[in-house]
Amino acid sequence: MSAPQNTALVVIDVQMAMAHDDAAGADRSCRQAEDNIAALLARARGGGTPVFHVHHRATDPADPFHADAAGSAVQPVAAPASDEPVVIKTTSSGFASTDLEQRLRDAGIKRLILCGATANHCVESTTRSACDLGFETIYVSDAVWAYGVTGPDGVLHKGDAIHSVVLATLDGEIASVRPTATVLTEMRGG
């Protein structure tokens, strides 16, 4: 058995800019996220769950996500298969500047399994938008990651802390937050 027909896996912004940050030694959470994304993709593809990819394209030529920048390329672990739709966004949410909602509705999708980068930016924004649009949302807790950031007050917030806060603020109200192992079991049908 596989996930219900009305379920789709949505992989968000697993692009080389993140790998470049990692190679530069950025403080980040959840080092196993890419492996978990690969496992989710394999289960979805093997079980007939539709997969949608969302990729970010910045409009500023100096941005690492600009179409001409090496950072905009997709990480090999999350490369779309030839039959999987790719939605290009210019905003944080995968819904705000795209036709993602229409594509999902046309496919009869009502339940989304969300993963990718980053936990507190585009995956969170897309998850919140999906909930607002009436989709059932599953946020895969260990198939996302966050980077450390310094706030306007000068306080450094570590990637692990940011990740934890995102999970706490989404779970139960905006999404069902579940680990990869649980989601893989559900995708298999229990």
Kindly report, residue by residue over 153-172, the tens digit of the pLDDT.
999 999 999 999 999 999 99
Residue 189 has pLDDT above 80, yes or no: no
What would the CATH number be for the domain defined by 7-188? 3.40.50.850
Domain ranges of the chain: 7-188
Residue 4 has pLDDT above 90, yes or no: no
Q: What are 44's strand-pairing partners?
A: none
Give the tokens for residue 179.
């680990």
Which residue has tokens 């492996």? 35
In terms of DSSP bridges, do strands 7-12 and 149-150 run parallel, antiparallel, or are they unpaired? unpaired
Give the tokens for residue 187.
């995708």
Which residue has tokens 């680990």? 179
At residue 2, the pLDDT reads 46
3-state SS class at 89 = strand
Q: What is the pLDDT of residues 39-74, one digit of tens each?
A: 999 999 999 999 999 999 999 999 999 999 999 999
Which residue has tokens 């692990």? 160
